[in-house]
Amino acid sequence: MTTLLDPTSEQAPGTRERARRPASLDGLTIGLLDISKARGDVFLDRIAERLVARGHTVARFAKPTFTKPAPIDLRHEISTTCDVVIEALAD
């Protein structure tokens, strides 16, 4: 395992920084990524309902299998068509 010395002022966390978040979801496209585990779709259906009720745009995606990371093409599609993404539901 590699250990490096932090070259920064150490005011930010040492882990990868999260992507910059929008101030609000208004006018944004929200991706819902179903990991394809049983019953997760019911949960995501409800989240979608709530988001649409608030006037947001929702785009639905599903992984081929929950056992592997999403294929690169799917990731690319999500990152180019959505502003934020919600992934569910691991159990």
Partner 1 sequence: MHDIVNLEAAGTPGVFLASTEFVDAAAAQSRALGADPAALFVPHPIQDRSDDELRDLADAAFDAIVVAITARADER
Partner 2 sequence: MLPDGLIAVVKRDCPTCALVAPVLAELRTRGTEPLTVYSQDDPTFPEAIGGAIDDRDLDVSFTLDLDTVPTLLRIVDGVEVARTVGWSRDRWAELTGLEPLGADLPPHRPGCGSRTQDPAVAAARATREGEQHLRARRVTLGAEEDDAEAMYDRGWSDGLPLVPPTAARVVRMLTGTTRRPDDVVAVIPPDLVECTVEKIAINAVMAGCRPEYLPVVIAAVEAACTDAFNMHGLLATTWFSGPVIVVNGPITRAIGMNSGINALGPGNRANATIGRALQLVIRNVGGGRPGEVDRATLGQPGKFTCCFAEHEDAYWEPMHVERGYRADTNTVTLFAGEGVRGIADQLSRTPESLTRSLAVCLRATTHPKLPIAFDAMLIITPDHLRVYEEAGWSKARFREELDALLQIDGAELIRGAGGIAEGVPTSLADTTLPKFRDGGLLIAHAGGGAGLFSAVIGGWASGKMGSEPITHEVGT
Report the distance separating Cα 27 and Cα 53, nearest Å.
13
Residue 34's DSSP bridge partners are 62, 88
* Using rule CB under 8 A, residue 9 touches partner 2: yes
- Residue 8 interacting entry, from partner 2, partner 1, none, C-beta within 5 to 8 Å by type: partner 2
Report the distance separating Cα 47 and Cα 12, nearest Å.
32
Shortest reach from residue 12's CB to partner 2, in Å: 8
Which residue among 36, 50, 52, 64 contacts partner 1 (CB under 8 A)? 50
Four-point Cα dihedral 67, 72, 78, 79, nearest 10: 130
- What is the contact mask toward partner 2 in residues 61 to 80, using x (rule: CB under 8 A)? --------------------
Which residue among 7, 8, 21, 55 contacts partner 1 (CB under 8 A)? 21
* Using rule CB under 8 A, residue 1 touches partner 2: yes
